[in-house]
Amino acid sequence: MKRKLLIIFTVFFVVPTLILGISFAILQRHQQELTQKVIDSLNREFVGELTLERTGLAFFENFPYLSIDLKGVAFYDSKAQNSKPLYRFEDIYLGFNVLDLLSTNYTIKKIKVKQGHLDVVKYPNGDINILLAKGMKEEKTTEDSDLDLDLASIEIEKIDVSYRDLGMETDYVMHIGKLKSSVSIQENQLELETIGNLIFDLDYQGTHTFFSNKHVQLDLDLQYDLEKPKLTLNPSQIQLEEAFFAVSGTVDLSNELTDFDLKLEGQKPDFKMVAAFLPADLAAALNEYQNQGEVFFHGSVNGPLGGEQFPAISLEFGCEDAYFLNPEINKKVEKVRFTGFYTNGAERNLKTSELVLQNVFAKPDKGIFEGSLTVRNFEDPYVKIKLNADFDLGFVGEFFNLDGIDGIEGQVILSMDFDELVDLDASQASLTKIKESVQSELTLRNLHFRLADYPYPIKDVNAHMVMEAGKITLDSLRLKIEDSDFRLAGTISDFPAIIHGLQKPVDVKLQASAEKLDFGKLTNTPDGETLEDLSLKLSFAAIAQDLMHFDHLPKGEFFIDDLYAKLGKYPHTLHDFEADILIGNNELEVKGFKGEIDQSDFFLNGRVENFEKWFQDRIEGESTFEWDVRSKQLRINDLLTYNGVNYLPQSWREEVLSNLHIHGTVDLHYEGDLQSADLYLTQLEGKTTLHPLKLENFSGRIHYEPDYLLVENFGGKMGLSDFNIHMGLGLDSAHATKPDYFHFKANALDLDALMGFKSIEEDTNHQEAFNIFKVPFRNMEFKADIKKLNYHTYWLEDVLGRARTTEDHYLYLDTLALSLADGNLGLKGYFNGSNPDELYFSSKMRAEKLDIDKLLFKFENFGQDYLINENLHGKVSGTIDSKFRVYPDLTPIVDKSEAKMDLTVYQGSLVNFGPMSALAGYFSDKNLNRIRFDTLSNTFDLKGGVLHIPRMNINSSLGFIELSGTQGLDMKMDYFLRIPLGMVTQVGFRSLFGGKNKNEIDPDREDAIVYRDTDKRVRFVNINMTGTPDDYKIGLGKDRN
């Protein structure tokens, strides 16, 4: 018994194990040698290069066959291997019979290919990349290989196969999931049974077509006659999505041309056959409806393929008595029927192809739809459409559950008789016939609907359009959105010429109007503009072919025939706009763009080079725009006021420019995005009206980068002024890398002319003046170098300034120096504008013999303007430390200011000085309206609108006088004077001393009479003067301070 068990064990376990072991050893020993020999042999014949990463053994991949695993098999189009391989597979398993291996018979029984790709490309000249790379020599090698084929099956898993036709710009892509073919040979007949699944994509110009992501199941029974040779497709089945098709026929390969005789027929007569050929989203939508009907589909392919020949393709399809039911609302489209066929015609190509849909009919819940369609010549389609439709859009919206559209209501009536199936090349009479055969009419009535994610309904849509003799006329299109309304009309002169791309002129005209367009609501942007009384006329003249075949913009001539509109936030009226714009291959020329904004007019010519880059996904290179602008009259306020705000100084807001001429160019530099722009101003001429200045010789460069704006050598002449500006301005404050600065240089600057200065005596509403501190400030540095500056009729010289601003509205005057006649002035300080309604100026000023007459320092006190040099004349030196409250035009508000003034006045005079004029009756033979003095030195304090004058000596034309007291800038005074007693008249003496004459008073015993000097040779009288120059009191009194 034990012996018997041993024999059984040996036969069933030991022997097979031994055989497998020996086979494994044989295969292990020879695998590298066998594969490398084959690869070397093939590479000697190939132009390309076949590579293998490594080999191994696999027991179970092709069980019961023992397999060599070829890992990383790749084929390149050249020996250099410097491009993507034409194909690459992770694993190719070659299966061998174990018994064959024992007899050193290396016959491959099974091949399994896993995970990889195969990319086939057909070039426009007909060459195929993989055949070029194979590049077999004319004399085949006779070297034998130790490997042989006797396949029982082939398997493919996870392989992507693509076939790209560059001439047709078409890609055919198969994503094979799993494909298995069993192979058998009997009496010269190769039989293949193939079962598998794949996903098919048809792409055009790199984009998926509607026939993409189609799931295909194959169950094919193939028979190949090795002698004839001929492929027979026995009755088989192809499943496309959820539709099943029976296929059968033959493919004769015995001749030079391949001869097809194939038949295709739908197996299940339902709408799944229709859905299978639709895009995925439409197919899914169709499957949501319950449907029923008699659907049929038949097809055939007959004839030779090769060279320039193509087989005949014929398809027949249709349905009868079908319906579609929306189960959610229980509504139907009934009595659906149509029949149709497709053929590729006598010449069996796209040009002779024809598609016909006949007896198309559908009965919705409300309305009717019927028609027919014929399309011939798929290269340049010509169509015949007859259509009669009248349906309720409310039903359409409910039935089809239109995505993104809610609450749709209204009626559509469409009547179309579009017949152009005649020979366009025959004659002009034929062209006329085409136009006469094209008759259509479309009417929209009371259309209302809402768009998803849009806050306002679109309502009262009414439209009427007709097409007659090839001309489309849109009589009217009206709609409303909230309080905005829109009306549109237009024509297309020759519609058939456009759709066929003929060399014929075509005119397109458009008229638009609206009582109101609120772009804030229309675009859901609160700051949007508003248009009222809009009237717009546009037209475009072109060749029909250029309207159908263009890369970016169609060639032609674009016109703005008229534009009228009133704007809201930009409160002006646009009118009499016209434009003529020529569009070329890569250039755009503005021949004339003119119009008026209120009372301002403009005329623009320009040219844009290389505009096509603006339409590229990544913009590279340069574009140039040359422009020339002229204006007879340009009112600045018409252009620079927006939403009621104009930041220009008051004197310039109403300025008018006349005979303006500006010329320049703009260069745009792109590297993906706009990297920089350069504006070159080459000419600016004109004349201002309110400031009678002539503008001339202007030029300069403005350079823009995304984070910085640079102005270089911008300047010219305005009247007597000529200046030059350099400026740098950061545009990204969060990532500033360059400083902000403004540098101004001028040989002469006539500020009086530029600012419209009339007279220093003219009263001004200082509070309403332009307030620069309400404009946003930034950290910025300023420099000024002005050789001559006209300020308030006086020419200052060598004006140098250094200043800087900060974001918190401080303006620092680090240096301000100027020369005036023989004197000079230096100033350092800062303006505090952190509260733009309360401006302060703190400064320290130093003067050296400045002519007071030329200072013209103006101040305001309690609403009244005063000039500091109305009474005081001469030359002044000294320092002033001050903190002034100022108005926006920088006029000091003295009653809210304080200052300490350490001054010396040389060669001075007091003219019409109120306190002294009041004493005219007290001095004999003296002119008190003009008092001259040699030198006056003192330290004055100004606080609360009151000037405090410490005691000072005045050696004047009146003699030696002492003066002290206070002077309010409201003209209230409290002065103490010491006047030589001998200068007082008898009348004045009696007034001061109670009617007594000089001889009745003992000077030595009167407190009001004192000796100023120790030698007591000159007696003085102490006088106190109070009140105002118009209402004053004079008496005896001493300054107790």
| CB-based contact 175:196 (threshold 8 Å) | no
Question: Can you give 304-354 as a three-state secondary structure string?
Answer: EEECCECCEEEEEEEEEEEEEEECCCCEEEEEEEEEEEEECCCCCCCCCCE
For 628-654, what is the mean pLDDT?
Answer: 73
Give per-residue pLDDT as tens, 175-200: 999 999 888 877 778 888 899 999 99
What confidence score (pLDDT) does residue 168 get?
Answer: 74
Highest-scoring range by mean pLDDT, 92-96, 495-499, 513-517, 717-721: 513-517
What confidence score (pLDDT) does residue 1008 get?
Answer: 47
CA atoms of 482 and 524, how far apart (whole Å): 12
Is 48 exposed, middle or buried (CB count within 10 Å of its CB: 0-12, 13-18, 19+)?
buried
CA atoms of 791 and 753, how far apart (whole Å): 9
Question: What rounded mean pLDDT belongs to the chain?
Answer: 81
Q: Encode burial over 716-754: b for 16+ CB neighbours within 10 A, e otherwise.
A: bbbbbbbbbbbbbbbeeeeeeeeebebebbbebbbebbb
- Of 18-27, 749-758, 970-979, the poorest mean pLDDT is in 18-27
Q: 84 Cβ partners below 8 Å, 6+ apart?
A: 119
- How many CA atoms, within 13 angstroms, populate the side-chain half-sphere of residue 940? 25
What confidence score (pLDDT) does residue 332 get?
Answer: 87
**In the chain, what is the greatest distance between 2 CA atoms, to the nearest angstrom?**
180
CA atoms of 786 and 798, how far apart (whole Å): 6
**751 or 144: which leads in pLDDT:** 751
Length of the chain: 1041
107-122 and 148-165 as β-strands: parallel, antiparallel, unpaired?
A: parallel
The alpha carbon torsion through 226, 228, 229, 231 (nearest 10 deg) reads: -100
| CB-based contact 656:637 (threshold 8 Å) | no
Assign 28 to helix, strand or coil: helix
Residue 869 pLDDT > 70: no
What confidence score (pLDDT) does residue 202 get?
Answer: 84
Residue 275 pLDDT > 90: no
DSSP, res 403: T
**15 or 261: which leads in pLDDT:** 261
What confidence score (pLDDT) does residue 13 get?
Answer: 44
Q: Return the sign of the alpha-carbon dihedral for residues 352, 358, 362, 368.
A: positive
Give per-residue pLDDT as tens, 661-701: 999 999 988 888 888 999 999 999 999 877 778 889 999 99
Assign 583 to helix, strand or coil: strand
Assigned token pair, 74: 């790749």
Q: Which long-range contacts (CB under 8 A, 24 or more apart) does 637-644 make?
A: 638/572, 638/597, 638/598, 638/599, 638/600, 639/597, 639/600, 641/570, 641/571, 641/572, 642/569, 642/570, 643/569, 643/570, 644/571
Residue 518's closest CA among 565, 477, 560, 476? 565
Instruction: Quickly tell me which residue has 């904004």 as its tokens.
Output: 597
For 155-177, what is the mean pLDDT?
Answer: 88
CB atoms within 10 A of CB 428: 7
DSSP per residue, 943-1008 = ETTEEEEEEEEEEETTEEEEEEEEEETTS-EEEEEEEEGGGB-HHHHHHHTTT--GGGS-GGG-TT
What confidence score (pLDDT) does residue 1017 get?
Answer: 63
Give per-residue pLDDT as tens, 449-461: 888 888 899 999 9
Is 846 exposed, middle or buried (CB count within 10 Å of its CB: 0-12, 13-18, 19+)?
middle
What confidence score (pLDDT) does residue 249 get?
Answer: 93
Give per-residue pLDDT as tens, 811-866: 999 999 988 767 888 999 999 999 988 999 999 999 998 887 766 554 443 344 44
| CB-based contact 369:389 (threshold 8 Å) | yes
CA atoms of 919 and 991, how far apart (whole Å): 11
Q: Which long-range contacts (CB under 8 A, 24 or more apart) does 561-565 make?
A: 561/537, 562/535, 562/536, 562/537, 563/535, 563/536, 563/537, 563/595, 564/533, 564/534, 564/535, 564/536, 565/531, 565/532, 565/533, 565/534, 565/535, 565/536
872-886 and 864-867 as β-strands: parallel, antiparallel, unpaired?
A: unpaired
**297 or 853: which leads in pLDDT:** 297
| CB-based contact 780:802 (threshold 8 Å) | no
839-851 and 858-861 as β-strands: parallel, antiparallel, unpaired?
A: unpaired
What amino acid occupies position 1025? Answer: M
Residue 176's closest CA among 211, 201, 206? 201
- For residue 237, name the pLDDT band (cuts at 50, 70, 90): very high
Residue 432 pLDDT > 60: no
Instruction: Quickly tell me which residue has 């189960």 as its tokens.
Output: 327
For residue 584, which phi and psi values (nearest 5 degrees)? -105, -165
**590 or 291: which leads in pLDDT:** 590
Residue 137 pLDDT > 70: no
Assigned token pair, 97: 């019979």
**548 or 343: which leads in pLDDT:** 343
- For residue 8, name the pLDDT band (cuts at 50, 70, 90): very low
Residue 96's closest CA among 37, 47, 35, 40? 35
Residue 271's closest CA among 208, 337, 328? 337
DSSP per residue, 417-474 = EEE--S-TTT-HHHHHHHHHHEEEEEEEEEEEEEETT-SS-EEEEEEEEEEETTEEEE
Give per-residue pLDDT as tens, 728-773: 999 887 777 889 999 999 999 988 877 766 655 555 666 666 788 8
Residue 17 pLDDT > 60: no
Instruction: Quickly tell me which residue has 């590049």 as its tokens.
Output: 135
Q: Encode burial over 499-512: b for 16+ CB neighbours within 10 A, e otherwise.
A: bbebeeebebbbbb
What confidence score (pLDDT) does residue 649 get?
Answer: 63
| CB-based contact 298:265 (threshold 8 Å) | yes
- How many CA atoms, within 13 angstroms, populate the side-chain half-sphere of residue 818? 23
CA atoms of 616 and 234, how far apart (whole Å): 52
- For residue 776, name the pLDDT band (cuts at 50, 70, 90): confident
- For residue 22, name the pLDDT band (cuts at 50, 70, 90): very low
**693 or 475: which leads in pLDDT:** 475
Give per-residue pLDDT as tens, 517-531: 998 888 888 778 888
Residue 534's closest CA among 574, 480, 481? 574
- Percent of the chain at pLDDT > 90 equals 27
CA–CA distances in Å: residue 284 to residues 216, 274, 325, 400: 17, 12, 15, 12
CA atoms of 372 and 384, how far apart (whole Å): 8
| CB-based contact 434:496 (threshold 8 Å) | yes
What confidence score (pLDDT) does residue 522 get?
Answer: 86
What confidence score (pLDDT) does residue 6 get?
Answer: 43
* E strand or H helix that includes residue 17: helix 15-45
CA atoms of 963 and 955, how far apart (whole Å): 11
What confidence score (pLDDT) does residue 558 get?
Answer: 94
**884 or 110: which leads in pLDDT:** 884
